[in-house]
Amino acid sequence: MPTLIEERRALYSGALDLLAVKILEDEASIGAAFPYVTEESGAWRTMPASQSAGYSGDAWSHGNWFCGFWVGLLVASHLHTGKGRYLDLARERMRLVAPRCEDPNTHDIGFIFESSAVPAHHVTGDGWFADLAIRAAERLRARLITTPAGAYLSSWGPLDDRRGRLSSAIDTMANLPLLYWASAHSGERSFRLAGEAHARMTQEAFIRADFSTFHAVEYDEAGQRARGYTFQGHADHSLWSRGQAWAIYGYAATAADTRNRAHLEVAEALGRRYLERLGDHPVPYWDFDDPAVPDAPRDSSAAAITAAGFLAMARLHPDPEKGAAWRGHAQAMLDCLCTDYLAHEDWHRGLLKHGCYSIPHRDGVDSAVLFGDYFFVEALMAALSPGAFLPEPEPL
């Protein structure tokens, strides 16, 4: 990767300095629970790590899919500052997160363990982290539903519940890195095969002709799309920007692990569609089709996730010019987040302002959202110190 110019390096490094200060302050006050979104007052709203996903009547609750991101932010702060205190805190927090590796109810165990145990193992080499990540990957792999048309990972709910078994979400694409890591770590191909099967079926069922994506799909028993719908976007046929970001990130990860150029081409087509809808502001509206645009809220987390995906595409791309173009787009997004979106104010906890968790659920609108902070930091680490926080993909 070309050396970053000094000015940009200082900008990115400054954001990580801010994280290191804030996370230590927060550690002194949050107790055993984990932050997930900020309130209007700027204070973190928190949730115990043990809160699993589930149905309450017909309403689905995601539970705590955020807790691993906190561990990942502590590990990144350790790498950035060189201080052991952050690693001690990461280990302590990991003990609270660890029981979730047996959670049978959600695809989110991918998010939880790929952002915590995987970087912690990469940085320390400690087998305890790797064992947790493998156990979580086994649970995620067990969510593979085989149909005559292919196989997909069910996103939500116990597998004996028809509602969840027949549904999948675009977010699942960004849970696949746990399976890919498990395959590389254990040498067991079944993890990779499950991930790639899911990516292929998602390509058929979720990606529309214009390379925008549905948020969720309900399959029929034959594995055909019965309907495309949304859970957190504006409407079933709208383009929820974070959903597109999860897809870009997931196909880049699939290309990196499988070494199959076709998945990179999908990531690129999704990325081009995202850029067409983005216009000239590097941070997207929460949903590109919200009728309130240009007065609709933006979602800084979608920009952070997309930047992380574009950086992976840049590193993978066999054509250096095309790789440089994806890197340029990622840098424009990260530059804007560092310049205009950092929460420097003491009262505003979290790192990135103006994230948008869910407008339909009225939760975390115009807030810091923990996953946004995490993917922002993952992208900054990849830009500043490739391979230090997570393994670096080799060019295809």
Q: Which residues are catalytic?
A: 108, 171
| x-or-dash string of contact with ligand GLY, 101-140, rule CB under 6 A | ----------------------------------------
Return the number of the residue (72 or 223) whose C-beta is nearest ligand GLY.
72
Q: Considering the rule CB under 6 A, would residue 215 count as an interface residue with ligand GLY? A: no
67, two tokens: 């807790």
- Ranked by CB distance to ligand GLY, the top (closest) residue is 171
Give min distance, CB of 302 to ligand GLY, in A.
9
Return the number of the residue (242 or 354) whose C-beta is nearest ligand GLY.
242
| x-or-dash string of contact with ligand GLY, 5-44, rule CB under 6 A | ----------------------------------------
Return the number of the residue (268 or 299) whose C-beta is nearest ligand GLY.
299
Contact 356, 299 (CB under 8 A): yes
Give min distance, CB of 121 to ligand GLY, in A.
24
Phi, psi of 45 (to 5 degrees): -90, 140
- For the chain, the three-class secondary structure string (H helix, E strand, C coil) is CCCCCHHHHHHHHHHHHHHHHHHHHHHCCCCCCEEEEECCCCCEEEECCCCCCEEECCEEECCCCCHHHHHHHHHHHHHHHCCHHHHHHHHHHHHHHHHHHHCCCECCHHHHHHCCHHHHHHHHCCHHHHHHHHHHHHHHHCCEEEECCEEEECCECCCCCHHHHCEEEHHHHHHHHHHHHHHHHHCCHHHHHHHHHHHHHHHHHHECCCCCECCEEEECCCCCEEEEECCCCCCCCCCEHHHHHHHHHHHHHHHHHHCCHHHHHHHHHHHHHHHHHHCCCCCCECECCCCCCCCCCECHHHHHHHHHHHHHHHHHCCCHHHHHHHHHHHHHHHHHHHHHCECCCCCCCCCECCEEEECCCCEEEEECEHHHHHHHHHHHHHHHCCCCCCCCCCCC
Give min distance, CB of 10 to ligand GLY, in A.
31
| x-or-dash string of contact with ligand GLY, 58-87, rule CB under 6 A | ----x-------------------------
Give min distance, CB of 46 to ligand GLY, in A.
17
* Residue 237 backbone zone (phi > 0: left; psi -120 to 50: alpha; other: beta): alpha
Give min distance, CB of 62 to ligand GLY, in A.
6
Give min distance, CB of 19 to ligand GLY, in A.
21
Return the number of the residue (112 or 207) whose C-beta is nearest ligand GLY.
112
Give min distance, CB of 301 to ligand GLY, in A.
8
Residues 274-333 interacting with ligand GLY (rule: CB under 6 A): none
Which of 119, 52, 57 shows the shortest CA–CA distance to 91? 119
Q: Considering the rule CB under 6 A, would residue 167 count as an interface residue with ligand GLY? A: no
Among 93, 242, 298, 327, binds ligand GLY (CB under 6 A): 242
Which residues contact residue 280 at a Cβ distance below 8 angstroms, ignoring those fewer than 6 apart? none
Return the number of the residue (77 or 232) whose C-beta is nearest ligand GLY.
232
Return the number of the residue (62 or 327) whose C-beta is nearest ligand GLY.
62
Among 232, 254, 300, 306, binds ligand GLY (CB under 6 A): 232
Return the number of the residue (171 or 290) whose C-beta is nearest ligand GLY.
171
Give min distance, CB of 231 to ligand GLY, in A.
8
Altogether, the residues listed in the chain come to a count of 396
Q: Considering the rule CB under 6 A, would residue 171 count as an interface residue with ligand GLY? A: yes
Return the number of the residue (205 or 356) whose C-beta is nearest ligand GLY.
356
| Chain positions contacting ligand GLY, by CB under 6 A | 62, 171, 232, 242
